Every structure is written in structure tokens, then in C-alpha cells.
Chain A
Amino acid sequence: AQKITQTQPGMFVQEKEAVTLDCTYDTSDPSYGLFWYKQPSSGEMIFLIYQGSYDQQNATEGRYSLNFQKARKSANLVISASQLGDSAMYFCAMRVAQGGSEKLVFGKGTKLTVNP
């Protein structure tokens, strides 16, 4: 069964420093996609970054990068130069495709707090 594990319930980082949020996944499918979403206290889900299982390079989007280690089945999110506005819940998710339909399976999330 496909599963996403986020082992850090909460993380703290100083403003302007980098932080890594961990995510491991479990799937037997050779083709999959990995996503990170940010959920601020207002509740909306904001897409941050995507990594496909066949992508040769790690995905980057501005201050966000994804440290994709396929053999270890990990897809950690790295946020560089943290800002106060980065304080939020962060969810790792994996796209699961079966029989012509697909869905996202989410981890439990990591609450990031950026301290001034």
C-alpha cells in the first residue's frame, strides 16, 4: 500500500536560516509523483513543488528545493533563507494512480515555526 511518512511533528528554525522537512514514501509503482503543499493558519493548501519519479534532477522552485533520494525513498523539502511567513503546516503527498484514476496520499504534516 502506498504511504507517506513525515516523522517531524514540529520544527523550529531561525529567520534567514535553511531548514529541511523530512518525507519518506512507500510504493511499488515505478511511476509516481511527489508533492509538497503549504497550509498556513488560514487553511488553504498551497502547492510548492513537484518531483516526478523519473526526473533526473532535483526539483527547485525559488527558495524551495526537493532533495530526492530514490533509493532511500525520501523526498525532503529544503527551504532556504527562512522567512516569518514560512510558518505553517507542510504536507508531503504522493500521487497514486490505479485503473485510470489517481489521487494524492498525504503525510501527517510538519508544523514549521520560523523565529525572528
Chain B
Amino acid sequence: EPEVTQTPSHQVTQMGQEVILRCVPISNHLYFYWYRQILGQKVEFLVSFYNNEISEKSEIFDDQFSVERPDGSNFTLKIRSTKLEDSAMYFCASHTDMNTEAFFGQGTRLTVV
């Protein structure tokens, strides 16, 4: 069964460093998302991406964040200068058409120290 794959599963980084979280969505999917879940809290929307551009972003998604789909298969989230409060589980999700269920990756647990 096809699945959304995220790497790494866990990343520890120093405050101020840049991190890139990687996702490989399901191959025929067209809509891509990043969500964030701070430990013990609910899942929050960060950004949606369609047709090689951002279609919507939340207030959380400030200038420190960027997304890219460099080669038609990978979908990356970059945080330029990490802060302690960026520590969270980051989920990538994708789906085919509008009104279909979103499939989530297993998440990347980012720890900023």
C-alpha cells in the first residue's frame, strides 16, 4: 500500500541552525501539506502546496519557514534559523483531488536544543 514517507524520523539541532525536513508524498497525489504538533497539543496547519506553489499558509509559517518540491517527488520544509519553540512533531500529508482523505507521514520529531 502506498504511503507518505518522512525523513528523518527524529532530528536534534542547535538553536539558530537550519534544518530541512523531507517528505515523499504518494506518487499520484497533487496536494501537499505540512502540519505541526507541539508535544501534548493538537495538530496545527502550517502550509498547503499545489501546482508548485503555496496555496495557503498559517500565521505560524513566517519568513523562517519555506517549502519546496525540487524534483517532482520530494517535498521539503526548511526552517532557516531554528528556535526552541520550533521543537515539535512535523507531519507531511498529501491527497489526490479536493474532497479526498489526506494521508499522513509518520512524522519527524524535531528537537531544538
Specify whether A and B are partners. Answer: yes
B20 within 8 A of A: no
Contact A108 B91 (CB under 8 A): no
Q: For residue B107, which residues in chain A have a CB less than 8 angstroms away from its CB?
A: 43-45
Main secondary structure of the interface of B (DSSP, over half): strand
> Does A41 sit within 8 A of B, measured CB to CB?
no
CB pair A91–B31 under 8 Å, yes or no, is no
Residue A100, interface by CB 8 Å: yes
User: Whole-angstrom distance between the alpha carbons of A99 and B43 in the complex?
Assistant: 22
**Main SS class of interface, A:** strand
- Complex: chain B residue closest to A44, CB-CB: B106
What is the interface residue range for chain B against chain A? 20 to 34
- Nearest CB in chain B: distance from A67 CB, A: 19
Q: What are 21 pairs between A and B in contact, CB < 8 Å?
A: A35-B101, A35-B102, A37-B104, A42-B106, A43-B89, A44-B107, A45-B107, A50-B101, A52-B99, A91-B42, A95-B99, A99-B55, A101-B48, A101-B50, A101-B56, A104-B43, A104-B93, A104-B102, A105-B45, A106-B42, A109-B42
Show the binding face of B for A, using Cβ within 8 Å: 31, 33, 35, 41-45, 48, 50, 55-56, 89, 91, 93, 98-99, 101-107, 109
